Amino acid sequence: MRALARAMASLELPAVEKISNDQKEDPFQILIATLLSARTQDATTHAASTRLFAVARTPRTMAKLGEREIERLIYPVSFYRNKAEHVKACCEMLVDRFGGRVPSTLEELVTLPGVGRKTANLVLILAFKSLDNICVDTHVHRISNRLGWVKTTQPEETEQALYQAIDRRWWPDINLYLVTWGQNVCRPTSPRCGDCVIVDRCPRIGVRRK
């Protein structure tokens, strides 16, 4: 993890991290940006989030937007119609059930439309500075298995296995480190093992091509 931290210094941050830094860890914007980020390129997520937040920055103002308008603002993120529906429903629930604030527990967060454990964990880590959560997305799942830290087939399983496998002090950092590494070096197909700072310590499990 220390080697990755040093190597990452010159690499671009993931979109949700950038938004978190730019917006002073605003829980609402982190939540919405994470919803938009699923299966979408980082640059597209960042641009779509910026357009949406320029029009509405709070659950109350965003809940008043029409679904078609949200679609128009977030296009071309993948599944933009579903995501627009979730964004609107999520804002309405935040207003109706949580007084216009993003809740700070995993149990409450996963009751919001479109919010699963990945999004909830990332909101808790970035917005509420939780030290007790690990956020597992496709990069974290893939690289943890390549490194042999876990042997799992599903991200949910990986999250639970990582709580056992990884020293607690690294839990909040795993997502940032492995997402950044996954976008730049340990890519899904053809990972750049020759440029990887941890190649000597990586068993490269399941990697067929460099």
Q: Choose, by CB under 6 A, the member of 128, 196, 208, 209 that binds ligand SF4.
A: 196
Measured from the CB atom, the residue of 84 and 143 that comes closer to ligand SF4 is 143
Q: Specify the residue, 95 or 199, whose C-beta has the smaller distance to ligand SF4.
A: 199
Q: Does 139 bind ligand SF4 (CB under 6 A)?
A: no
Binding residue (CB under 6 A) for ligand SF4 from 8, 47, 166, 199: 199
Q: Does the annotation count 118 as an active-site position?
A: yes
Q: CA-to-CA distance for 203 and 187, rounded, in angstroms?
A: 16
Residue 26 among the catalytic residues: no
By CB under 6 A, which span of 39-47, 57-65, 131-139, 197-205 interacts with ligand SF4? 197-205
Q: Which of 46, 118, 139, 146 binds ligand SF4 (CB under 6 A)?
A: 146
